[in-house]
Amino acid sequence: MKYSELSDAYELLESTPSKLAKTDIVANLFNAAGESLQQVVMLSNGRVFPDYEQIELGIANQLVIKSISKATGIPQKEVEKKFTTSGDLGIVVEHFVSRKKQSTLGNEILTVEKVFTVIQELARQTGKGSQDRKMSLISSLITAAKPKEARYIIRTLLQQLRVGIAEGVIRNAIAKAFDVNPQSVERAWNMKSDFSEIALIAKKQGEKGLEKIKLEIGKSVQVLLAEKSPDLKTALESFENAAIEWKMDGMRCQIHKQGDKVLIFTRRLENVTHQFPDMVKMVKKCVKTKECIIEGETIAVDKKTRRPLPFQVLSQRIQRKHEIERMVSEIPVQVNLFDVVYVDGEQLFEKPLHERRKILEKIIKPDENFRIIEQLVTKDLKKAEKFYKDALNANQEGLMVKNLDAIYIPGRNVAGGWLKVKPTMENLDLVIVGATWGNGKRSGWLTSFVLAVRDPDTNKFLECGMMSTGIKEKKEDETDVTYNSMTKMLKPLIEKEAGGIVRIKPKIVIEVACEEIQKSRTYSSGFGLRFPRFIRIRNEKSERESETMERLNTLYEMQKK
């Protein structure tokens, strides 16, 4: 397929607000893709790797600016100036490619396969000289591209496609293009987390092919999610057969074992096996079955007291790529298992929780560091309240109240499944989309941070408040987040800057507490947060897992009641 056909579809999508119309456009695109279907599906979502591989492109604005200059012969300062006024390097490259008169530009007919392959190659460039090699690869694409093609190539590289395609549109487009049920596509997505493979199966095998999709060791599964309960009493009364577990302040982990091969994924499907060799050893020692997929919560613990430590401590290990053994020694972990979805070729989704728990207990030989989480089965509110108090005294977040009769439905907040109970109004996982430069003693730091929620229909981020409280000027404790550390983290993500105000690429998710959600004309979401306060950085969450407009509205309505 010619890349120009994909670019035309991108342009049409960008100017089409209707979700239904977008679905029609994408379905037609998938039908026309032919042998390029898998690449087209991935590129439609602005990606070149499935989620579970978690390979980052790692392309910064400055590298793209240099590449545009190299490909077009335009001085770098002129490219930077144009970027300052437009705020979109896709528009910038389109402008300069249009101006370029040399016949060497735009002569090659770019195909989807060519663009896809080069972008994948970009991601694999590491080590000495990798930046130069990346610049050459980007420049080669710009040189071969027509103006419109260049716009979307650069946006894809920067993961800023801006055509308003969310996962729901892709799901429905696959269903429409290949005449299958959208629910079948969603079920397949929850199993495989790869729309490109699902689209190919739907095309070649139809509904029957999707129904045959099973779990695969090594490919992470979308996890079952919990709903918020207003209080413990309400949660207990929600289920006839209830079990209570501590809600731990850690990393939800999905562990895959196949013989001696062990893989560890986070809830956002990131493969963190390399960062946790100690967990791999625990699995090999304590899991008494050949194949399984089990779930739990990994927490950091104090080396001496074994008491739980805040998630911020554990996050140092999640993000670490080097000196792994030193981190293993400095920050030991404890794994607390609570579910199993696959054992020796059998999927367990349709089994109720009380049966899955018994299976988990049979295949685990626990020890101090790798254990099955304690569970209290009761309808007695006083016993439950004591269990709740014990969790809070142990520095945990609260409780999980689970329906022992419920099956496991991946990828969903399921009514009648799991409920979480916290002691305060639920904190919000929001995305930073802007900030202001400080002055005085905070000069040189980004300070007040603009927060946003996600609109799943448009894939846009809508502002809902500004926050500064909770971040430290000086690091007093290992877990403290400072203005300096926030600035270092956010500076590479700055997309536009004017008058001390910066726009930031929606990438960093933080947990925010607030006193109240209010209606507001100030912010694009229509809501504002009263007294927002920084709690922690949610490294384990992607921007696609942040709070949605629907969720913010639900919390606002609950708050009114």
Active-site residue numbers? 247
Backbone angles phi, psi at 513, to 5 degrees: -100, 150
Q: Tell which residue, 67, 137, 135, has the closest CA to residue 97.
A: 67
Q: State both tokens at 410.
A: 């991946």
Contact, 276 vs 316, CB < 8 A?
no
Contact, 503 vs 278, CB < 8 A?
no
Which amino acid, residue 418? W
SS3 category, 61:
helix
* Contacts with 272 (C-beta within 8 Å, 6 or more apart), sequence order: 251, 253, 264, 265, 266, 318
Distance CA 114, CA 533 (A): 47
- Helical ranges in 253-411 per DSSP H: 277-286, 311-319, 324-330, 353-363, 381-393
Q: For residue 438, what is the DSSP state?
A: B
Q: Tell which residue, 274, 269, 198, has the closest CA to residue 51.
A: 269
SS3 category, 467:
strand
Distance CA 476, CA 478 (A): 7
Q: Which residue has the tokens 């960062």?
A: 275
CA angle 208, 213, 218 (to 5 degrees): 165
Q: Tell which residue, 454, 473, 476, 475, has the closest CA to residue 464.
A: 454
CA angle 485, 278, 369 (to 5 degrees): 100
Distance CA 401, CA 486 (A): 35
Which residues are bridge partners to 247 per DSSP?
398
Which amino acid, residue 19? K
Q: For residue 304, what are the CA distances in angstroms to 326, 477, 514?
A: 17, 18, 35
Contact, 174 vs 31, CB < 8 A?
no
Which amino acid, residue 291? E
Which amino acid, residue 521? R
